[in-house]
Amino acid sequence: MNLPRLSLLPTFVRELTSSQTLPREPEPDAIMDDADQVAAFSETGRKESTLAASYLFHTARASQAIQGCKRVIDLGCGPATQLIQIAALNPEIEFIGVDMSEEMLRHARAHVAEAGIGNVTFITGDITKLDQFEPHSIDGVISTVSLHHLPTRTLLENCFREIKRILKPDGALYLADFGRLKSLKSVIFFAYMNRDRDPHQLLLDYERSLRAAFLLSDFERLAAELPETVEVFSTFKVPLLIALKTPDRELPAAKVQALNQMRKALNPRFRHDMDDMRIFFKLGGLKNDPFH
């Protein structure tokens, strides 16, 4: 959010004072298999954009949750842009990316090979039916901005049921996604606020994602069925972003240093965006910020 924060005020007030009027609109392609569409999505994620801020924020927060895990599953990994960054910071952890799109996984494998990452493998699978994994066999589960792709609330419930089934009793969890806003005006504002610097396809994908987002109350209800250590956080007052997570585990000093070096290396505009995420999540109750 590289605009002055005061520009958020009208949208912030509207979201606080309005009732929920925006119905959920599932994305037209729950499984992205078209080769050209997947290539465009994959390339957009790897180019310099506001996504860089989101990737680094989730890398840090997911790493805090899964520190000490041996095997972690990434649900809805897509082309693995986010997963590669997390795996590179945590080379001692074995990561398994799960996605239904063979075309997405083709790009993911190519990106992993190009990056020289050796601790990531992939499985074609349905995140609402994880039959490949035995009960209570997984140390950690992560998912970053993928759950809104599920067509129905019932499938979201199924996904959470599977997470509970495969996760060890003391397992780690980090799930992050968009929350549904109250007004279409708010969706349009957030989706296109960076139109001067992000490609149109990224902006359009953002709008569709916000329209497809589940409610904060959906996540709160489902989190109540998970181990009581799981907490739900959202950006302050307006749940544009939501995170469900188990308690942080202390990161080694080398990882904290690496994260802060990555922050400093960000384009200043994107560093500003990430710092906004940090502020609004901190105001929403999320503590232990690893950045300084």
Nearest to 46 by CA among 2, 1, 83, 73: 83
- Residue 109 belongs to a domain: yes
- pLDDT for residue 111: 95
- Residue 108 belongs to a domain: yes
- Residue 170 belongs to a domain: yes
For the entire predicted model, the pTM comes to: 0.93
- Residue 10 belongs to a domain: no
**Mean pLDDT to the nearest integer, 90-101:** 97
- Residue 192 belongs to a domain: no
- Residue 171 belongs to a domain: yes
- pLDDT for residue 28: 81
- CA 242, CA 232: separation in Å to the nearest integer? 7
Range in 18-32, 211-225, 232-246 with the lowest mean pLDDT: 18-32
Domain of 138, CATH number, reads 3.40.50.150
**Mean pLDDT to the nearest integer, 123-136:** 97
- Residue 9 belongs to a domain: no
Question: Which residues are CB-contacts of 144 (< 8 A; sequence separation ≥ 6)?
Answer: 58, 62, 74, 82, 174, 176, 177
Average pLDDT in the chain: 92
Question: How many C-beta atoms lie closer than 10 Å to residue 37's C-beta?
Answer: 13
- CA 12, CA 205: separation in Å to the nearest integer? 22
The string of pLDDT tens digits covering residues 171-207 is 999 999 999 999 999 999 999 998 888 888 889 999 9
* Residue 107 burial by Cβ neighbours in a 10 Å radius (0-12, 13-18, 19+): buried
Dihedral class, residue 26 (left if φ above 0, else alpha if ψ from -120 to 50, else beta): beta
Q: How many domains does the chain have?
A: 1
* Residue 116 burial by Cβ neighbours in a 10 Å radius (0-12, 13-18, 19+): exposed
The string of pLDDT tens digits covering residues 21-61 is 999 999 986 555 655 565 555 565 556 678 999 999 999 99
- pLDDT for residue 3: 45
**Residues above pLDDT 70, as percent of the chain:** 91
- pLDDT for residue 194: 87
The string of pLDDT tens digits covering residues 253-278 is 999 999 999 999 999 999 999 999 99
**Residues above pLDDT 90, as percent of the chain:** 84
The string of pLDDT tens digits covering residues 142-179 is 999 999 999 999 999 999 999 999 999 999 999 999 99
- pLDDT for residue 197: 83
- Residue 51 belongs to a domain: yes
**What residues make up the domain containing 165?**
26-182+214-283
